[in-house]
Structures are given as structure tokens and as C-alpha cells.
Structure 1
Amino acid sequence: MYNTFPKISEFIDSNEGHSFLIWKEEDLFPVLSYPARINFIAIFISIEGVMENEINLQPALIDDTHIQVYTHSHAARILRRSDNFKCVGILFSRKYWESTMLHTHPFNALTRLRPCIEVTSAQRKRLLDFYKIIRSQTQDKGNEYNNEIIKHLIIGMFYELGDIYKENIKKTPKDTAGEALMSNFLELIYKHYKEHRDVAFYARELSLSQRYFTTAIRRASGESALKWIEKYVILEAQILLKNTDMSIKEIASSLNFSDTSVFCKYFKRISGMSPDTYRYCK
């Protein structure tokens, strides 16, 4: 079917009257060695098996105790899929999402930070029940109120999700100081990596001395603050190289490099290959 995330986004955005897509059990995620950006809204629920992936460089999975919810732009890389993995879901355009007014709900901010969330068997069953009703309703072509019925069912499903997020927050142990700093740092990188690649900027934003900041990040994550910044920059470059027709010069400019040669040297130093080589490798 739509075997790449950009194709899914293109399909959803090109269908103004039918701006959502039902993901069925037979629709398989491709296992990719390269990342893609998910710009559509989606919820994925496992039927059986497990899929391991990364979301914004963080490990995640879909199985019988974890679902994934995308309401913001995320960089995703699928790592492994069990042979028996099957999942269902609902995907829709950002325009459709805004028409439901769900983007104003408090849980919308939580899905940005926690796109992968743990669910109980009862919670998973309720979400699957919503999915089945919505899927069935899409086949009722003779009902003049069908679009409104589906929209309100989707709203109900996401309010159920809001309650699941609320319950998860109650059960989640409070972050340690190091975990909280790491979370705040990654959130800042997500917002500023295109403009700021210097560690000093992030230390200032977090009101910390650069020395304390770099030591604390290494202690919390096992990697340097600079390494995390570089990972985000390279991740975005890889997404643009593999999923767009932008030239190397355009990509360098979009990431605020002074010229193409500086970007190419930066990319090769970190990834071990030139942007051109990466673009055409399988």
C-alpha cells in the first residue's frame, strides 16, 4: 500500500473531503534503515507481535502493552518488526485534526513528549472498540451524516486517550534532576537545532554554566551535549536527503549552514559518508 510515510502524508493531504485513512491489519510498516518525518496525525494499536522503532532518537515500540500517538511532527525510524506483527490505526491530516478542536486539549502537549505510551489490556480493548466502530462507519456510504458521526467518534476516541495519558502520569515516577534536565535539553534541541549547534546556547537557555551543563548531560545520558545536538542535525539532514528532492545546497541552507561545503564536511564527519553517498545508498 502506501509504503513510505511521505506517501501517506501526500495521500492524506491531497484528499480534502476524505482526509483520514484507516490503517488495516494487512498494512505493514516498512523496515527502513533511514528515518522519515511523520507529519500526519495518527494512532497505532497492535493486534499481535511487536515493532521496535525510534521516535526523535528515543527508543519506542508498539505491542500489546504500548500504543503510539502522533499529534506533532516526529522523526521516526523503524528498527525491527516481528514476523507476526500486525497493527491497526487511524491517520488524518492536520487540517482535519484542527477541525475537531482536539489540538486545544491539554493532552495534545503530552503526546509531543510521549508519543509512545503504555496501556492496560482494558484500555487497549476500548481503543480497539472505537477503531472498529469508526472503520465500520466509513463503509456506510448512504448516511448523509456519516462525516459528522465519524468526526465525533474520533473525538471520543481521543478523549479516551486523554484519560489514558492522565492515568499514566499518575503512575510515572517523578523524574530525577538529571532526567528532567535531559528532557528539557532535548526539547530545546527539537526547537532550535536548525539555528543553534553550539553547546553554550543550550546551557544559557537552561540558566546553567556550560561546565556544569555538559557534565550533567553526560552523566544523565552517557553522551556529550554536543553529540546530542549533532544527532538531531544529522537526523533532519538524513530525512531531507532520503524523503525529498531538495538539492544538497537547499538542505544546507535549510539547516543554516554557511555554505554547502561546510555542511558536506559536517555530515561526513558525523555520519561517515557524504550526503550524496547517503542519499543513494540502500
Structure 2
Amino acid sequence: MLQSIPTIDICTLADDIKQDDILISRFAPYLDAHKNLFFPHRHSFYHLVLFTDGAGSHTIDFESFTVKPGQIYFMVPGQVHSWSFEGFTDGYIINFSGSFIQSFLLRSGYFDNFSFLSSSNPADEVIDIPAEHLPVIINLFESIIAEAESNEAMGSDMVKLLMLQIFIQLSRIQGKDENRGRQGYNHTLIRNFQKMIEQHYIDVKLPKDYAEMLYITPNHLNAVCKDVLGLPAGEVIRNRTLLEAKRLLTNPKLSISEIAFNLNFSDNSYFTKFFKKIEGITPEEFRKKTLNNKQ
């Protein structure tokens, strides 16, 4: 499938990464070294930033957030991201692969406990840290910076432990503790449905086909989606296709016909009708609006 925008890999960001699958830095020098990352791009890794100074905005999958001190945001691989800062901006940044933390855990699905690591919904990934919790989070980031610079024995394991402390603290702030991963059959079913959509949304369009893969009836799948997500199953599938269409439309080198083909629409007209019915504007209008906003 054609890529709409550049995909950034950890190894392209630094030539001297001391630990496999992870990059740790204070944010100001990272930003200074990577000025080219202001344009929209994807990551092939998990990405988290804690702001301690600065203002402006950052956008995740076309949803914009105001930058402010005490805010932390996460990105999962594949999401489209860009930022625009006003004045001096600082904080901490950690880029890491899924295998970096998972290699330390016996439970392969442990990330599902944390909405900011298991969701592709930007609203779950941006957290405003209350003032009373901020010193604890900052101290953990400082400890990670110190470990990354120390070259002490088992430093990689210590970084993983400190990162897990950050995840657990943030999950508690969100009010979604470790019990989130044990909220019952319906939530497990929805997570599996969403993972299947991520793998098959281009070729599998109908709820009945996903229901068959999940060994349940279409009515059951639809009822659970409405109960947990507040949306019918078909809308969940269509929203994922729409998101990818938006991502592809950010690349002016791709024609509307090419995007329609890559999303498995039978023709350009059908794709345009699909997009306008959900978004309210045509793909061409969305592209013009989005690209004008980036100038």
C-alpha cells in the first residue's frame, strides 16, 4: 500500500542510540536536532512526550491539542502526527519499540491495561497531569535520563522498570488502573474486534465477516459495540477506513483515484460518496483544507 507521509524509524533519529529499540532525551535538544519533524509524519514505534515548558499545538490523527506544561501525550505506531510550538519548548521524550517493554514481561498483553498504549483514539493518549502528581512523574523521567547516561550494569532493565512506574502512575491518574484489563468479556471482545479491524479493514468491510472471525453472531457483535463504544459495529469499521483515507489525503502526490484503489473501493465515485457521507465534505475539499492549514 502507498504511504501517505514519511514513516520515521528510531534508527533514523540518532546514530548513537545506547540501548536497543529506545531513544531517551530531553525535549529541547531533541527538537533542535530534528527540526524537519514539524511536518506530518508517522512513527514505527511508541512515542511519548512530557512537556514542562512551552506552548503551541500538536495534532494526532487530525485531532489538535493545545501544548501546555504538565501535559503528556502518547502515540502508538502508525498514527499521523505534527506539531507547532510557540517559543522555547522543553520536557522529556522517549521513543521505544513494543518489543522493548514486552521483552521484560511474561504477560504479552500487558499493554492492554493502559489505554494510552493500546488505543488509537487521541483522546486516550493526551493526559493533563494534575499539579500534585507532576513532581513524581518528572522525577521518574529524570531517573530515566540519568540511567540512560550512566552506562551502569542492567541499565536497560532499570529504564524498563521506571517506564512501567510512569505508565502505572498515569493509569491511576486516568482512573483506569490494572483492573481495566479484566473488565470482562465484552471489553476483551471489543479489543479483539479493534485489533482485527486494524489488520483487515482494507479487505474486510462487513460486520458479519468480523463476527465470523470472532465466533459470534453479527447481532451480538453489534450489541456489544453499542454497549462499550456507543457505536454500531459497521460504523467502527467505516471510521477506521475514513481515518486511513485522511492520512493518505495528506500526501498531494497521491491522486484521489490512487487512494480509492489502495483502500479497495471499486471506483473513485464510490470512495468520494463514502467520504462525503461521513465527513461532510469531499476528499478534494478535505485535502485542500488540511494542506492549507499546514502552510
Q: For the superposition of Structure 1 and Structure 2, which TM-score range results when normalised by the shorter chain?
A: 0.5 to 0.7
TM-score relative to the length of structure 2:
0.61
- CA-atom RMSD in angstroms: 5.0
- Higher mean Cα deviation, 268-277 or 124-133? 124-133
Deviations along 1:102-134, one digit per CA (max 9) or x if unpaired, are 342444565542574988988754542343356
The answer for the alignment partner of 1:212 in structure 2 is 220
Alignment counterpart, residue 89 of structure 1, candidates 64, 86, 92: 92
Q: Distance in 2 between matches of 1:56 and 1:187?
A: 18
The answer for the alignment partner of 1:203 in structure 2 is 211
Which residue identity is paired with 2:48? I
Q: Distance in 2 between matches of 1:26 and 1:14?
A: 9
Superposed, which structure 2 residues align to 1:1-282 within 5 Å?
9=8, 13=12, 15-17=14-16, 20=23, 22-24=26-28, 37-47=42-52, 67-70=72-75, 72-75=76-79, 88-92=91-95, 94=97, 101-104=100-103, 105=105, 106=107, 107-108=110-111, 110=113, 112-113=117-118, 116=125, 125-132=135-142, 154-161=159-166, 164=169, 169-170=177-178, 172=180, 174-175=182-183, 177-243=185-251, 245-281=253-289, 282=292
TM-score relative to the length of structure 1:
0.63
Which residue identity is paired with 1:92? N
**Aligned residues between the structures:** 258
- Tell me the CA shift for residue 200 of structure 1: 0.8
Label 1:134 to 1:179 Cα distance change in 2 as closer, same or farther (>3 A).
Answer: closer
Q: Distance in 1 between matches of 2:177 and 2:162?
A: 19
- Tell me the CA shift for residue 16 of structure 1: 3.3
Q: Distance in 1 between matches of 2:181 and 2:161?
A: 28
Unaligned segments of structure 2, at least 5 residues: 32-39
Label 1:12 to 1:240 Cα distance change in 2 as closer, same or farther (>3 A).
Answer: farther
Q: Distance in 2 between matches of 1:51 and 1:116?
A: 18
Q: Distance in 2 between matches of 1:38 and 1:262?
A: 30
Which residue identity is paired with 1:158? M
- Higher mean Cα deviation, 193-202 or 38-47? 38-47
Q: Distance in 1 between matches of 2:191 and 2:30?
A: 36
Q: Distance in 2 between matches of 1:62 and 1:171?
A: 30
Provide the identity percentage. Answer: 18
SS at match of 1:158: helix
Which residue identity is paired with 2:228? A
- Tell me the CA shift for residue 231 of structure 1: 0.8
SS at match of 1:246: coil
Q: Distance in 1 between matches of 2:61 and 2:288?
A: 23
